[in-house]
Amino acid sequence: MVKALSAAILFLAVTLGAQAQASSANFDPAAKVFRLDGGGVSYVFGVNTRGELQQLYWGARLGATDAFPQAAPLPEWASFDSSYSNTPQEFAGWGAGLFVEPALKISFADGNRDLVLHYQSFSEAPNGFDVELKDILRPIVVTLHYAIDPQSGILARSATIVNQGAEPVTIEQAAAAAWALPPSHYTLNYITGRWAGEWTLNQETVRPGERIIESRRGSTGHQANPWFAIQAGEPDEDRGEVWFGALAWSGSWRISVEQDQLDAVRVTGGFNPFDFGYVLHPGQSLETPVFYGGYATNGLGGASRLLHRYELEHILPRTVATAGQILPKPRPVIYNSWEATEFKVNEAGQMALAEKAAALGIDRFVMDDGWFGQRKDDHAGLGDWYVNPEKFPHGLKPLIDKVHSLGMDFGLWVEPEMVNPDSDLYRKHPDWVLHFPERAESQQRNQLVLNLARPDVRAYVFGFLDKLLNENNIAFLKWDYNRNWTEPGWMQLAPAEQKKVYVEFTHNLYGILAELRRRHPKVEIESCSGGGGRVDLGILRYTDEVWPSDNTDPFDRLTQQDGFSYAYTPQIMMAWVTDSPHWLNHRTTSLTYRMLSSMQGSLGIGANIAKWNDEEAATAKRLIAAYHQVQPTNVQGDLYRLISPRGGSEFSVTQTVRADKSQSVVFAFIHSTQEGRLFPTLRLKGLDPAAQYALTPIEGKARAGTPAAASGAWWMNHGLEMDEGFRGDFQAAAFRLDRK
């Protein structure tokens, strides 16, 4: 028998800034209560008197000695709403009168579909617990995994479902976790979009019923992103309680936000149950994705700062150690010629662009689509990953050598999971694509999806990428994915087994990425899917950056970057400066405006620099140099959205502060000045009030009389005032503050 508290698993105290934060995971055997503490957060659940696992508390950190009695199920609400349904369960099986979203729904071979999960046992796990549940009669065992981050209090939850019986069962619905909030007035924040229009932040009152955020497309999707934030009361950037979460899955996913008949709110997320059916044979198990959940008391800004830091420290691949902390390397400033050349790449043209790029101070030269197979446009070539002999008669080596001789490293575009019907690969293996027999194969962008779930397809894809990286000195892959699934059949398998494709495809994608990284540890990878169609915490465990959108209009990007930043760190947010007028909106903007818009994230240049005049080149060179100086603060610091561009705002401003508060960077943008209105005074945030900070313009001017240096208290309380001439359409300014 485990003894209370003496059996507690006490984890290391970890330093967060100057504050010591301890994390702990305790089990109280008398009350059967589990408690996890990390950062400013406590998460508590227990075994209720019926044997179910019930959530008891998720919020601000409780006193170390505060104790909970054993969980009591909520009562029945008339005969129509059972106690089983009303009780906020950690992981409810569909059965016994559950009318809210189940975490798990199973069909047994004999037709029984009733599943009631009761607590069995627990074991210690790093920073948390593994808690075992079992159906009241049948040998279906579910292990719930919990791990709390000592610094942020962000909890990682997932489940492993095992069939210990003698007959196969079919899993029809499997969540990673369910989160519960007590009855209150809440605002739900979630992100939606479309191609070239990703990252719209939606804010709406949580109402009775269910709001589904999902992708049924086989991949993460542009249309919704697997992230949510629920704020108590009205949305507020700086104040108020926020519960937030993000699902680490790049296949079809679903998050449901449900206000039940008693006004309680539950968030359930995991595999999308639409068209789902995973047959679990005796002895087999299914691992769900991880659903991360966090809590902040300082509004949406506080929530996103916690999530950014967690992504930087725990999700993204890490390559470089800085100041005792392992953080991912700031992204090299890249050049990519896609918008300049599209498919018309060749040795001479790319070499000429490389020379121009190097002169600007670019770190990495990336060749995009068009270099392989018979790829002249998007009708042919995908699947045939040999170097096109007309465009590159001597292979890639001369171009790569040239890029290296100019002091840059070399990156290459690939789209490994796709095939054009007009390709040698498809002619040889027409059965390798997702399809149903005798049904037409719907083409999108003239391409089909290879069934990566098949072992032979996985081997082919891994094989060509491994060969490409072995034979060429490549530092970076831009991994693209330009359509969604249709006719998702996996004809090699028996009909009942085919829906496993929703799980195995994504597992094989992750497996290939992991193996490539292991064999080629210096190679970095970008997740691109026609822009931001595959951005989630699952793919980010294996990729270093993402392409947020094919829309590179610098004004549109401000709103997209704002929306993106609620869920994801600017470190991964690639942002290219492209040509003006912009191809999408036909909007004309200055190079300075375009540069500053892109400098909010990880900067790249995607314009036709062959056509730039000396003045444009000099502007870009100066701002790239200025960017390099502040980049770690800018993309890895704490982000404050001082003025959001959302809702047609006349102005927008972001500020980032380095973790040690030694530096801060401010970007300010004007959409269109109206009625001569002056730019608002910017009361900065997050600085050390007692420290002195020197102000240096990167672009633009502060108001005459602004001190060259002042205390953090001055910049935060008095504020930074812009020059009175800072007016007009599509104007931009940027400043840095350095602690003296």
By beta-carbon proximity to ligand DGJ, the closer residue of 37 and 369 is: 369
480 an active-site residue? yes
Q: Which amino acid is at 76?
A: E
411 binds ligand DGJ (CB under 6 A): no
Contact call for residue 214 and ligand DGJ (CB under 6 A): no
With contact defined as beta carbons under 8 Å apart, do 698 and 735 qualify?
yes
Give whichever of 451 and 527 is closer to ligand DGJ, judged by the CB atom.
527
Catalytic-role residue among 368, 544, 550, 553 = 550
At closest approach, how far in Å is the CB of 508 from ligand DGJ? 22
Of residues 292-351, which lie at the interface with ligand DGJ (CB under 6 A)? 338
Distance CA 334, CA 322 (A): 22
Query: Contact between 372 and ligand DGJ (CB under 6 A)?
Result: no
Nearer to ligand DGJ, 260 or 368 (CB): 368
Element (H, E) at 303: helix 299-310
505 binds ligand DGJ (CB under 6 A): no
Least CB distance to ligand DGJ at residue 445 (A)? 8
If binding is defined by CB under 6 A, does position 553 make contact with ligand DGJ? no
Q: Which of 146, 547, 568, 726 binds ligand DGJ (CB under 6 A)?
A: 547
Q: Which is nearer to ligand DGJ, 368 or 556 (CB)?
A: 368
Minimal CB distance residue for ligand DGJ: 369
CB of 422 to ligand DGJ, least distance (A): 15
Structure tokens at 403: 């890029």
**462-491 positions binding ligand DGJ, by CB under 6 A:** 480, 482
For residue 391, the minimal CB distance to ligand DGJ (Å) is: 15
Q: Given the complex with ligand DGJ, which of 427 and 445 has the nearer CB atom?
A: 445
Cβ distance to ligand DGJ smaller for residue 163 or 560? 560
Amino acid at position 127, single letter:
N
- Which C-beta is closer to ligand DGJ: that of 368 or that of 417? 368
Min separation Cβ 550 and ligand DGJ, Å:
5
Distance in Å, CB of 338 to ligand DGJ, minimum: 5
Indicate whether 369 belongs to the interface with ligand DGJ (CB under 6 A).
yes
Helix axes of 347-360 and 614-636: crossing angle, nearest 10 degrees: 70
* CA angle in degrees (0–180, nearest 5) for 521-522-523: 95
Nearest to 590 by CA among 607, 565, 610: 607
The token pair at 667 is 């970007």
Report the distance separating Cα 398 and Cα 505, nearest Å.
36
Q: Which two tokens stand for residue 24?
A: 């702990």
Q: Are 701 and 563 in contact (CB under 8 A)?
A: no
* Interatomic CA distance for residues 497 and 504, integer angstroms: 11
The least CB distance from residue 415 to ligand DGJ, in Å, is: 7
Q: How far is CA 116 from CA 138, 164, 314, in A?
A: 9, 16, 34
Which letter does DSSP use for residue 70 in this model?
Answer: P
CB of residue 481 vs ligand DGJ: minimum separation in angstroms? 9
C-beta closer to ligand DGJ: residue 445 or 683: 445
Cis amide linkage into residue 317, ω under 30° from 0: no
Which one is catalytic: 149, 260, 369, 480?
A: 480
241 binds ligand DGJ (CB under 6 A): no
Give the residue, chosen from 199, 385, 392, 413, that forms a contact with ligand DGJ under the rule CB under 6 A: 413
Classify residue 279 as exposed, middle or buried by CB count within 10 Å of its CB (0-12, 13-18, 19+).
buried
Nearer to ligand DGJ, 260 or 369 (CB): 369
Q: Which is nearer to ligand DGJ, 241 or 526 (CB)?
A: 526
Shortest Å distance, C-beta 482 to ligand DGJ = 6
By CB under 6 A, residue 81 contacts ligand DGJ: no
What gap in Å lies between CA 366 and CA 357, rounded to an integer? 10
The residues with which 422 forms a beta bridge, in sequence order, are 380
How many chain residues interact with ligand DGJ (CB under 6 A)?
11
Please give the Cα distance from 121 to 132 (Å, whole number).
Answer: 5
**Which residues are paired to 247 by β-bridges?**
291
Neighbouring C-alpha atoms within 13 Å toward the C-beta of 400: 16
Q: Which helix (H) or strand (E) holds 358?
A: helix 347-360
The verdict on whether 738 is a catalytic residue reads no
Q: What residues numbered 560-589 form the site for ligand DGJ, per CB under 6 A?
A: none
CB atoms within 10 A of CB 646: 15
Whats the size of the chain, residue-wise? 740
Q: List CB contacts of 688: < 8 A, sequence separation 6 or more.
A: 661, 712, 739
CB of 558 to ligand DGJ, least distance (A): 19
Strand residue runs (E) in 90-139: 104-108, 117-125, 128-135
Interacting residues with ligand DGJ between 587 and 626 (CB under 6 A): none
Strands (E) in 529-631, as ranges, are 545-546, 574-577, 602-605
Q: Answer yes or no: are the C-beta atoms of 183 and 264 closer than 8 Å.
A: yes
Q: Does 368 bind ligand DGJ (CB under 6 A)?
A: yes
511-540 residues in contact with ligand DGJ (CB under 6 A) are: 528, 530-531
Kindly list the catalytic residues. 480, 550
- Residues forming the site for ligand DGJ (CB under 6 A): 338, 368-369, 413, 480, 482, 528, 530-531, 547, 550
